[in-house]
Amino acid sequence: MAKQTFSIPNISCGHCVNAIKNELNEMEGIKSVEGSPEAKTVDVEWDDPASLDKIKETLKEINYPAT
């Protein structure tokens, strides 16, 4: 299992975190998604077939690109 914290400057509230959680949880292989609007971060744990590149691409597509 892989785990990474993504810095996402566009996060401004809990709704943003929920939007990210909803999108990422639809991906096969995602195990958990936790976010913090205060820190502007999202912690993601995943297994195959999810990947770092797929997660970053999904975040970009929903207008929450990781930096």
Query: pLDDT for 1-52, tens place per residue?
Result: 999 999 999 999 999 999 999 999 999 999 999 999 999 999 999 999 999 9
Would the pTM count as exceeding 0.85? yes
CB 52 within 8 A of CB 33: no
Q: Which domains does the chain have, with CATH numbers?
A: 2-61 (3.30.70.100)
Task: Please give the pLDDT value at position 23.
Answer: 97
Dist. CA 57–CA 53, nearest whole Å: 6
3-class SS of residue 41 = strand
Dist. CA 52–CA 50, nearest whole Å: 7
Dist. CA 37–CA 48, nearest whole Å: 27
